Structure 1
Amino acid sequence: METTGAADVCAICLDDVGRGQAIFTAERSHVFHLRCISDNVAHGNRECPLCKATWRDVPAVDKAIPVPRPRHPRVYADDDPVAAREAHAQGAGAQAADVAAMVLKTHCERPAVPRGASRDSFAVLVHARAPGGGESTAAAADGPRAPLDLVTVLDVSGSMSGSKLRLLKQAMGFVIDNLGSADRLSVVSFSDNARRVIRLARMSGDGKASAKRAVECLAACGGTNIGSGLRVASQVLADRRHRNAAAAVLDSGDGRHGVEVAERAYAGNKERRQVMGATDK
């Protein structure tokens, strides 16, 4: 690479190679702008544009430096560790041993053939029952399932006051009681805004008691911003340090969000009609 003062012409862009410009002189003294030949090489061309000779030495091509994507802070990365996988695998293996038997039954067209008689062909019906079907269904239902990460999104807006909130707390108590020690639960509540009530915690004896106390302290007030509740629940699952085999979000409320949106839309339309001089009927 050098600078030149000669009035040569770059064979790629056909512009003059003037003084002070960065150039590349090929093996047969052909001269090109460095930027032109670098673009040429970057597209895989290793031959001289003039004589088509294959170059032994080519100019270095600058590789684009990847720009790292901004990483959002993990706000909810404080979840409990998951249960030991070995214990769950042993339980699953025991379940498989109990229910992984296929049952086959055959039914022939003729129960018997007289001695001395023969049949070239006759129909045989084969009945196959897969593992887990029929009598095995109850055994499969009683067996261990995959551990679950559950985030409940609870509506505590003003419309949930009174009996609705009491029923919601009773339902949450039922959910908590039916979670296993390997399951993890996080509770998110929403009204005007959303907040995480409890972190994603193992549902051991102490975990269940703590979750029930947190749910009992919930109070109803404000509007119904279900979108913020679902966003927080999604972030709780996304920020997990550990992950169970299954994950779910359970939304509980009275469905007033859609009614409130319709009421606000009706009020806005009514106000616009009044401004325009129309009469609302």
Structure 2
Amino acid sequence: MLPTSAIPTSSNTVDDCSICLNVLAPGLPLLTLSCNHKYHLNCLASNVQAQNKECPLCRAPIDASIVQLLTSRIQPPIQPHITPLPIPFPSQIRAAYNIPSVEDPVDEAAVRALFNHLASARQAAIASANTASNLPLITVSITLEYGAQISHEESNIYGLVTLQASSAILPSNNESLALPHAPIDLVCVVDQSGSMSGEKMRLLKQTLVYIVEQLNDLDRLAIISFDTQAYDRSHGLKRMNQQNQQILTRTINYDIPAGGGTYIGCGLEMGINLFTSRRTKNSLGALLLLTDGQDNLQHDYSQLMETLPEGVLCHTFGYGPDHTASLLVQLAEKGNGGTFTYIDQVQAVGSAFAMTLGGLFSCIAQQLRVNIEFNGEYRISHVHSKHEHEPKKLPSNKITFKLNDLNADEKRNLVFQLHVPKVNNNQQVEMDNQQIISQNEQTFFDQSTIGQVIVTYVEPNSNQTITTNPVSFQLIRMDQPSADLLQVNYTLDIQRNRVETAREIKRAMDENDYQRSLAILKAQVEKIKASVSAQDPFCQLLVKDLEYRYPSERDYRSSHQNAYMQHSSERGTYAPTTNASAAQYLSYPQQQQATHFQQNQLPPMYIQQQMPPPYVQQQLPPPYAQQ
């Protein structure tokens, strides 16, 4: 990475515009070229419109996108010698003019070539692993709470569908960071209010430059900053070729001052507009929103978030203890299944963004549809997972869960309740592989198929729709099931503890009374301790996290909002060390990207002398703990 202080500057920098020879007064519309020479915006526009497309001082060619902007710009008269009145905040200087956005179009031919390359790379990885050529990207498994139910009684039991994304295509060490990925349209919307000054802004700029460096020529990036107004720093979605990377790096380091108040909505709206106005688009899209404060006035962004295009995820980051965590959680939830990250330590902003970037780089499935269908009178009565589903009105013997995407090495567990009807043993019961077995003078039926699940999804590299093979639900129905068949399934009980903990954390965060909020979490702790899976390492971490006492109510709520989002979505982000249970959701690519960021920002001796970063301290379960 090129540090802020190391970016070269021109030795010919002057205080006058070399076109009109008037002073470059603060507050006037100015534009700095890639050669680092600065001019009045209108003077340079007139120069370009006169077909002078080189820097008047050094004769370096002016970037084509800047030429296009200035050629189309109609400028009002300007008096460069007039000194403007003082403006309260430095960031408002740029409000005097607005350079229109110009989108770099997607290179469709290059994208197709990349998709072919990725398909070949995957086949090569499969071959080297000596696996079958039809290795699925996603495997599906099912679990019911019990192995059997009494045939002449109704009951209500839990069910579980688990989706596991393949990690076979992921190489070891840091090689995956160099592998191509499905092209991304990424918009970073960042707070530049006065509270971001100093170390916060320095580390944020360092992180933005890292993001610029990690994207390739097929990825497109836009950077929006905001205080009480929004500023399009990239002037639209730009492909991250070498030239645009250099321009944007300079912009990040020099043109994002800290000052003014906070209005999240103006930055959010400008970022969403870049997506809705796209003439071309990459297969993946994400908006990253970071703020360290609260809106000067309360706003409802529900209608604005409805305009976010389907498939574009909104990931939010709360920087420090003073942001409104509940608002950022709401934006993420309405942002097509995005995540919320509470950045409790100023120096953790880079790791937080890197983890999200690692997830985006490893997306293997989009538009997932989990279709569950049960036979006869079996009905799904309740859903305990946060994902959207149809029909919304239950009970129903058919249900379809909708998931936006799944990244390599991730897992999703869909938890629901199933109404089990009576079975009349005097009637012929249709079963798959039905057998009558005599044991200890008891007669019972073998496992029977009561339903099945099929998953369809779009592979983002090829845009091909893939359908998994059906997986069947099996449940024994008999008059007197044995004790082992009526034992609660251990795996399902862990997932029940997870979804119930997420629900209770949400309920506690919605409770304004602090003591009543604490009481809700205390009750959930007791419920986990009494469960079948209470001694499971993950459940013990849940208890430890819920029992932790925070120094302030604001820390308590910010940290638990982070925990709620991770436990409900099963998607990893950076988390405070007080949320150790959330570490299990971090995928291998996310950990690689975070480690890569750390190694690129700190000198080798510093890395060796420091304690491991928070995402390593959090007692990751196998295989991560062994990586």
Q: How many residues align?
A: 161
Alignment correspondent of 2:199: 163
**Structure-2-length-normalised TM-score:** 0.24
Gaps of 5+ in 2: 1-98, 133-163, 299-321, 323-627
Decide which of 130, 137, 144 is 2:170's aligned counterpart. Answer: 137
The verdict on how the C-alpha distance between 1:96 and 1:161 changes in structure 2, with shifts beyond 3 A counting, is same
8 Å CA contact 2:193–2:260 kept in 1: the answer is: yes
Identity %: 32
Secondary structure in 1 matching 2:225:
strand
Structure with bigger gyration radius: 1
**What letter corresponds to residue 200 of structure 2 in structure 1?**
K
What CA distance in whole angstroms lies between the structure 2 residues aligned with 1:169 and 1:149? 20
The verdict on how the C-alpha distance between 1:158 and 1:245 changes in structure 2, with shifts beyond 3 A counting, is same
8 Å CA contact 2:192–2:226 kept in 1: the answer is: yes
Residue 97 of structure 1 and its aligned partner are, at CA, apart by: 1.9
Task: Please list the CA deviations of residues 24-51 of structure 1 after superposition, one character each: whole Å capped at 9, or x if unmatched.
Answer: xxxxxxxxxxxxxxxxxxxxxxxxxxxx
1:208 is the counterpart of 2:241: no
The verdict on how the C-alpha distance between 1:82 and 1:171 changes in structure 2, with shifts beyond 3 A counting, is same
What CA distance in whole angstroms lies between the structure 2 residues aligned with 1:158 and 1:103? 55
What CA distance in whole angstroms lies between the structure 1 residues aligned with 2:203 and 2:167? 36
Decide which of 94, 108, 114 is 1:88's aligned counterpart. Answer: 114
Secondary structure in 2 matching 1:208:
helix
Residue 77 of structure 1 and its aligned partner are, at CA, apart by: 6.5
8 Å CA contact 2:224–2:267 kept in 1: the answer is: yes
**What letter corresponds to residue 138 of structure 1 in structure 2?**
P
8 Å CA contact 1:153–1:188 kept in 2: the answer is: yes
Secondary structure in 2 matching 1:185:
strand
Task: Please list the CA deviations of residues 174-208 of structure 1 after superposition, one character each: whole Å capped at 9, or x if unmatched.
Answer: 11111111100011110011121111100000011
The verdict on how the C-alpha distance between 1:170 and 1:131 changes in structure 2, with shifts beyond 3 A counting, is closer
Alignment correspondent of 1:242: 280
Secondary structure in 2 matching 1:257:
coil
Residue 219 of structure 1 and its aligned partner are, at CA, apart by: 0.3
What CA distance in whole angstroms lies between the structure 2 residues aligned with 1:89 and 1:77? 29
8 Å CA contact 1:77–1:239 kept in 2: the answer is: no
* Residue correspondence of structure 1 range 1-281 to structure 2 within 5 A: 78-83=102-107, 84-101=110-127, 103=131, 132-133=166-167, 136-138=169-171, 141=176, 143-198=179-234, 199-216=236-253, 217-254=255-292, 256-257=293-294
Secondary structure in 1 matching 2:171:
helix
Residue 258 of structure 1 and its aligned partner are, at CA, apart by: 6.2
Task: Please list the CA deviations of residues 236-258 of structure 1 after superposition, one character each: whole Å capped at 9, or x if unmatched.
Answer: 1111111011010011232x116
**Structure 1 residue ranges (4+ consecutive) displaced by more than 4 angstroms after TM superposition:** 258-261
**Structure-1-length-normalised TM-score:** 0.52
8 Å CA contact 2:263–2:295 kept in 1: the answer is: no
* Bigger relative contact order, structure 1 or 2 (CA pairs below 8 A, ≥6 apart): 1
8 Å CA contact 1:76–1:239 kept in 2: the answer is: no
Secondary structure in 2 matching 1:177:
helix
Task: Please list the CA deviations of residues 136-182 of structure 1 after superposition, one character each: whole Å capped at 9, or x if unmatched.
Answer: 43179354211000000011001111111111100101111111111
What CA distance in whole angstroms lies between the structure 2 residues aligned with 1:100 and 1:230? 41
8 Å CA contact 1:185–1:203 kept in 2: the answer is: yes
Task: Please list the CA deviations of residues 106-137 of structure 1 after superposition, one character each: whole Å capped at 9, or x if unmatched.
Answer: xxxxxxxxxxxxxxxxxxxxxxxx99545x43
**What letter corresponds to residue 185 of structure 1 in structure 2?**
L
What CA distance in whole angstroms lies between the structure 2 residues aligned with 1:248 and 1:200? 12
What CA distance in whole angstroms lies between the structure 2 residues aligned with 1:180 and 1:78? 19
What CA distance in whole angstroms lies between the structure 1 residues aligned with 2:195 and 2:295? 12
8 Å CA contact 1:151–1:188 kept in 2: the answer is: yes
The verdict on how the C-alpha distance between 1:180 and 1:210 changes in structure 2, with shifts beyond 3 A counting, is same
Gaps of 5+ in 1: 1-74, 105-129, 264-281
The verdict on how the C-alpha distance between 1:131 and 1:94 changes in structure 2, with shifts beyond 3 A counting, is farther
The verdict on how the C-alpha distance between 1:171 and 1:99 changes in structure 2, with shifts beyond 3 A counting, is same
**What letter corresponds to residue 103 of structure 1 in structure 2?**
T
